[in-house]
Amino acid sequence: MGTTAVHELAAAQDILRVALQAAEGQGARRIIVIALKVGRLHAIDQLRDLFAIVAQGTIAEGAKLEVEAVPGPGLQVASVEIE
């Protein structure tokens, strides 16, 4: 696994952790959408693919990632839509 893939895997795991904490705090049964603000240094397609893998078996499995590209290197979970 290349350096970029490892970086994106860690980012996908962080997204999942934040989304699960937010959803569980509200008693959610399922996460539907996770809105992200993603800096230019992230490989968005790879991030989506890796998120789908790490979310398997959780209430975030199948969640849609809505990505807003922003300047800079950052990554932020802007909101989590649940049911």
CATH number of residue 34's parent domain: 3.30.2320.50
* Comparison of pLDDT for 73 and 10, the residue scoring more: 10
pLDDT in the model for residue 2: 67
pLDDT in the model for residue 39: 87
What total number of domains does the chain contain? 1
How many CB atoms are closer than 10 A to CB 23? 23
Its domain, for residue 36, covers: 3-82
How many CB atoms are closer than 10 A to CB 35? 15
The 8-class DSSP code of residue 63 comes to P
pLDDT digit string, tens, across residues 22-74: 999 899 999 999 999 998 878 889 999 999 999 999 999 999 999 999 998 88
